[in-house]
A and B are shown apart, each in its own frame.
Chain A
């Protein structure tokens, strides 16, 4: 009896061990054209449509982060906005630009889906975003788009900051009807932060670059709550879980594995 119990327990342990070892899989690193991709499926499948595939790379080349995440109001977390077709129809969220009227690069931006009965043409238009599992032709090809841009090692493989400095992309900071006209923001001072690990170069935080793209309210206080410098403590575990810097640097901005982009101050001997 005892021997049978022992064998049974041993088998259970071996079986569980095998299955547990398979669940702790390493996350697949996205390819350059996949980096920043967001799949939205709040209501799509319930409406018999494929989930939406949103490509950050093309949108971020046209607009600053603030236009979409402050002025239009897209949440910073995938799926948290809860966009309905009716929101787009009313001219908000995706419908702010995807209205069939707005002209970008001399072309009208295709209109977002609506709740109306769909014709074949409408269906094809819907498929442009509701595209999971479909081969949908796009106006933009990542490789053609990224070819002339300065290169980076990770993420999309593009140095977006340099691309803007060189005038190769011109992200607009104003969207008519959404952005409140404001005078340009006074340049914010960059500052350095000391890492906890000895020998690790200090972090030079580019406050200027971040405010130009994000404004103030995108980061404060919802992402960075600390009021006084040095009062909040950040660590790489939290960051890799999407907190603080990780809100963008895990999902769309250059990723965490590009250590030296932040830990950039030379170590003093």
Chain B
């Protein structure tokens, strides 16, 4: 008897969820919804982060080891986001990110070598 009621409750809950999902749409967790108006800000976010990280390459020599390590980590976080872009932008920004990350890693290594 109790099992029957529980089953009915689960079916009703399932139907309610399905009903809600239709107008709202279902998205994978962490992914932006696929509408153009909402995907644009998501694209800008990675671009802003890219600009923010790579605009500091001129100052690379003046950063501390910790600051350089943070910048490298931020580059690494950007990588999977850039990999999701269309082929053209992926090619352009993967190359740019490689150069930018490479420089920070190079300066970091140089600073560590100086200490030796």
A233 to chain B, nearest CB (A): 17
How many chain A residues sit at the interface, stated as a range, is 20 to 34
A92 within 8 A of partner (CB):
yes
- For B102, the chain A residues whose CB sits under 8 A away are 217, 220-222
Q: Given the complex, which residues of A lie within 8 Å of B109, measured CB to CB?
A: 227
Asked if B55 contacts A217 (CB within 8 A), the reply is: no
Given the interface pairs A70-B99, A227-B106, the reply to whether A216 lies near B58 with Cβ below 8 Å is yes
Ranked 7 nearest A-B pairs via Cβ: A221-B106, A227-B110, A217-B99, A217-B103, A180-B55, A73-B92, A87-B88
Asked, given contacts A92-B89, A181-B55, A216-B57, whether A221 binds B96 with beta carbons under 8 Å apart, the answer is no
| Residues of B participating in the A interface, judged by any CB pair closer than 8 Å | 51, 54-55, 57-58, 60, 86-89, 91-93, 95-96, 99-100, 102-103, 105-107, 109-110, 113-114
Question: At the interface, is chain B mostly helix, strand, loop or mixed?
Answer: helix
Cβ of A92 and Cβ of B58 under 8 Å apart?
A: no
Contact B100 A92 (CB under 8 A): no
**Contact A216:B103 (CB < 8 A) given known A180-B54, A182-B58:** yes
Interface string of A194-226 (1 = CB under 8 A from B): 000000000000000000000111101110010
Cβ contacts under 8 Å, B57 to chain A: 182, 215-217
Task: Give 24 CB contacts A-B under 8 Å.
Answer: A73-B92, A73-B95, A90-B86, A92-B89, A180-B51, A180-B55, A182-B55, A182-B58, A183-B58, A186-B58, A216-B60, A216-B103, A217-B99, A217-B102, A218-B99, A220-B102, A220-B103, A220-B107, A221-B105, A222-B99, A227-B106, A227-B110, A227-B113, A228-B113
